[in-house]
Structure 1
Amino acid sequence: MTQSTAALAGRFHTGRLSEGLPQALHAWRVTTDDADAAARVAGFLGGEPRPNEGTGGAGLAYEVLTSRESVRVLLDGPDAVAAHMVLRGSTGIIHECDGVEFLSPAEDEGPALRLSSVA
Structure 2
Amino acid sequence: MLDIFATDPEAKAQREEREEARTRAERPSFAFQFRSGKMNGRQPVSLKQWRITTPRQAVAEALKELYGGTITEATNGDFAVDTDQDRISVVVDVSKIESKLIQWADGLPIHECDGSKYLSPEEDKGKPCDCPKLLEERKEKAKQRRGPKPNIVIPIRLPLDEELGLGKYTATAWSFAEDLPYTMKALSRIDGEALCVLRLEHVEYTLKSGEKREFTKPVLDVVGSFQDAIADDPDLES
Q: CA deviation at 1:17?
A: 0.2
Q: Which structure has the higher relative contact order (CA within 8 Å, separation 6+)?
A: 2
Name the counterpart of 1:46: 68
Q: CA deviation at 1:61?
A: 1.5
Structure 2: gaps (5+ residues): 1-27, 114-129, 135-238
Name the counterpart of 2:104: 103
Structure 1: gaps (5+ residues): 1-5, 83-98
Q: 1:24 aligns with which of 46, 50, 54?
A: 46
Which 4+ runs in 1 deviate beyond 4 A?
A: none
Distance 1:20 1:115, change over 3 A: closer
Q: 2:56 aligns with which of 3, 20, 34?
A: 34
Q: Quick one: distance in 2 between partners of 1:73 and 1:26?
A: 18
Of all paired residues, the percent bearing the same amino acid is 18
The TM-score normalised by the length of structure 2 is: 0.33
Q: For 1:1-119, what aligned pairs fall within 5 Å after superposition? A: 8-52=30-74, 54=75, 59=76, 61-77=78-94, 79-80=96-97, 100-104=101-105, 109-111=110-112, 113-116=130-133
Q: Quick one: distance in 1 between partners of 2:33 and 2:89?
A: 14
**1:45–1:66 CA contact under 8 A, matched in 2:** yes
Q: Quick one: distance in 1 between partners of 2:41 and 2:98?
A: 27
Name the counterpart of 2:233: none
Q: Quick one: distance in 1 between partners of 2:62 and 2:98?
A: 22
Q: CA deviation at 1:7?
A: 5.2
Q: Quick one: distance in 2 between partners of 1:10 and 1:39?
A: 12
Q: CA deviation at 1:81?
A: 6.1
The alignment yields a C-alpha RMSD, in angstroms, of 2.8
Task: Choose between structure 1 and 2: higher helix proportion.
Answer: 2
SS in structure 2 opposite 1:73? strand
Mark the structure with the bigger radius of gyration: 2
Size of the aligned set, in residue pairs, is 90
Q: CA deviation at 1:105?
A: 6.5
Distance 1:101 1:68, change over 3 A: same
The TM-score normalised by the length of structure 1 is: 0.62
Name the counterpart of 1:88: none
Distance 1:81 1:72, change over 3 A: farther
Q: CA deviation at 1:102?
A: 1.3
Q: CA deviation at 1:19?
A: 1.8
Letter in 2 for 1:30: I
Q: CA deviation at 1:14?
A: 0.2
Q: CA deviation at 1:111?
A: 3.0
